[in-house]
Amino acid sequence: MSDEFDAVCEAVRERVVPDDAERDHLEAVIDDLVDRTEAAVADLPVDADVRLVGSTARDTWLAGDRDVDLFVCFPPEISRADLEAYGLEVGHAVLPAGHEEYAEHPYVVGEYEGYQVDLVPCIAVESASDIRSAVDRTPFHTDYVEAHLGDLADDVRLAKQFLTGIGAYGSNLRTRGFSGFLVELLVMEYGGFRPLLEAAADWHPPVELDPEDHGQASFSDPLVVIDPTDPTRNVAAVCSSANVARLQHYARDLLTNPREDLFEPRDPEPLSADEIRDGFADRGTTPIALQFATPDVVEDQLYPQLDRSLAGISDELDRRGFDVLRADRFATDETSVLLVELAVAERPAVERHEGPPVHVGDHAANFFDAYEGTDAFGPFVDGDRYVVERERAVTTAEAFLESDALFDVALGTHVQSTLEVDYDVLVGAEAVAGLAADFGRDLAAYLSPMP
């Protein structure tokens, strides 16, 4: 078994560890970029250090990755306005064909010799607890990993590739998985890829790790890894329960039945419209999709908003008795979809409404008076309470989604403003099958859910 596991890891290692040619090329590109950046900094009225950060700096990038992160570290005295201005000035000088992106402040992104280069200004604070924006923390992470990684770089690569294979790699807010730094910390904590798997297989969340034994806050996340450079921060804060569970599941799976395909992301064949229609028809459910133009925000804003909207709508449909079996959200740059799959799509014209116990004096009398002589059935006595059966305003999920009541639900801000302009409601297997063109792959995954 151990031999088999080792053989699988060795085969994966051959693919994910960069060869000498790739290393040499990357090194040359980096040298070149650092020189160009330092030259640009020299033209500024302030001094700044140029630092390579990220997985290329830590020797933990996966073969074939083409990302270089260069940080320009300004002294703490700099104003925010100067930081932004100088940062962009340097960025455009180094990457003349680049464009600006915006995280906590703007920076320049551009292609250079086949690499995607992020040129990010930050502030060289004394310690990670003094940071002014999240990017200021990155150099500390790089220092920490460089100092402690030892010979585990290739184990980090295996772990990253494995998490990629099981769909749990990436701390973006679409995935809510494991960040590169988190993987590095976990591999260091347990002493390698295999020990990490063996530990994860036995985790009982919440799991709390504190490599520097200096944690100063408590967290309610399923996985807590205190940032070794900041005692108040959980590096695993965005990692969802489901991704922690997924790692546990596949860790057991890989240890029990080692095989290379677990390191390869599943990429299901897109379903055709007919397959989607038949898939839902076989389940006997009523799929309903809300389809609208994708709001013009970055993915890390888009997906939390889609998730929030989907949860709000699902909860409200459940509350109204349209039992939601499962729900999901899909998006292209142009179109977003909130899909809810209902076990019950229609309710009767009347609904039970429980009043107070008859004995609670005025409250009970007010309830009775409010309904007596109306069209409602009752009030009658059931157990010790007044009950009425009153008319239900909305008897189908479709009617709810097409009513103004939809906007009483907590929706993501940009989702709400988009829906206020226009949206479509697709009801039933036949209608939802029309999503095949844009979302055939997403619906294939939806109809064949994996751990």
Q: How many CA atoms lie within 13 A of 344 on its CB side?
A: 11
Of the candidate spans 106-114, 306-314, 355-363, 415-423, the one that interacts with its own copies by CB under 8 A turns out to be: 355-363
Q: Among residues 45, 114, 373, 449, which is the contact residue for its own copies, using CB under 8 A?
A: 449
| Piece in contact with its own copies (CB under 8 A), picked from 20-28, 35-43, 198-206, 268-276 | 198-206
DSSP string, 299-341: HHHHHHHHHHHHHHHHHHHHHTT--EEEEEEEE-SSEEEEEEE
Of the candidates 55, 285, 305, 314, which one interacts with its own copies according to CB under 8 A?
285
Asked if residue 140 lies in contact with residue 54, where contact means CB atoms within 8 angstroms, the answer is: no
Positions in 380-419 near its own copies (CB under 8 A):
380-386, 389, 395
The answer to whether 91 and 41 are in contact (CB under 8 A) is: no
Binding mask 213-242 for its own copies (x = CB under 8 A): ---------x------------------xx
Residue carrying the six token digits 């709508």? 313
- For residues 347 and 393, give the distance between their C-alpha atoms in angstroms, rounded to a whole number: 10
Q: Which one among 199, 273, 358, 431 touches its own copies, defined by CB under 8 A?
A: 358
164 binds its own copies (CB under 8 A): no
Among 14, 31, 146, 202, binds its own copies (CB under 8 A): 202
Q: Does 150 bind its own copies (CB under 8 A)?
A: no
Phi and psi at residue 252, to the nearest 5°: -60, -40
* CA nearest to 397, candidates 431, 434, 347: 347
**Site for its own copies contains 45 (CB under 8 A):** no
- Tell me how far, at minimum, the Cβ of 243 lies from its own copies, in Å: 8
The distance of closest approach from Cβ of residue 84 to its own copies in the complex, given in angstroms and rounded to an integer, is 41
**How far is 423 from 402, CA to CA, in rounded Å?**
9
Indicate the pairing of strand 207-209 with strand 223-227: parallel
Q: Is 244 near its own copies (CB under 8 A)?
A: yes
Closest approach, Cβ 408 to its own copies, in A, equals 23
- Strands 286-293 and 230-234, how do they pair? unpaired
* In the complex, least distance from residue 396 CB atom to its own copies, rounded to whole angstroms: 11
Give the three-class secondary structure for 110. strand
Site stretch for its own copies (CB under 8 A), options 14-22, 97-105, 196-204, 408-416: 196-204
For the bound state, the minimum distance from the C-beta of residue 429 to its own copies, rounded and expressed in Å, comes to: 11
CB of 153 to its own copies, least distance (A): 29
- The β-bridge partners of 120 are 71
Q: Please tell me the number of Cα atoms within 13 Å of 99 on its side-chain side.
A: 1
Of 59 and 351, nearer to its own copies (C-beta) is 351
Q: Binding of its own copies at residue 349 (CB under 8 A)?
A: yes
Residue 447 binding its own copies, by CB under 8 A: yes
Given the complex with its own copies, which of 210 and 323 has the nearer CB atom?
323
Tell me how far CA of residue 43 lies from CA of 38, 47, 78, 89, 315, in angstroms: 9, 9, 16, 10, 57
Work out how close the CB of 442 gets to its own copies at its nearest, in angstroms, rounded to a whole number. Answer: 15
Q: Which residues, numbered 289-348, are part of the site for its own copies (CB under 8 A)?
A: 321, 323, 325-326, 343-344, 347-348
- The helix-helix angle for 193-201 and 180-190 (nearest 10°) equals 90
User: Residue 359, interface with its own copies (CB under 8 A)?
Assistant: yes
Question: Which ranges of 117-240 does DSSP label H, i.e. alpha helix?
Answer: 138-148, 153-165, 180-190, 193-201
* Minimum CB–partner distance for residue 241 and its own copies (Å): 4
Burial of 282 (0-12, 13-18, 19+ CB in 10 A): exposed
Q: Which is nearer to its own copies, 28 or 450 (CB)?
A: 450
Does 283 interact with its own copies (rule: CB under 8 A)? yes
Determine, following the binding rule CB under 8 A, whether residue 55 of this chain makes contact with its own copies: no
Is 248 a binder of its own copies (CB under 8 A)? Answer: yes
What's the DSSP call for residue 235? T
Distances (CA, A) of 272 to 277, 283, 433: 9, 17, 8
With binding defined as CB under 8 A, does residue 165 bind its own copies? no
The tokens for 129 are 């607890």
Least Å distance between CB 395 and its own copies? 7
Chain residues in the site for its own copies (CB under 8 A): 202-205, 222, 241-242, 244-246, 248-249, 252, 282-285, 321, 323, 325-326, 343-344, 347-352, 357-359, 361, 365, 368, 377-386, 389, 395, 447-451
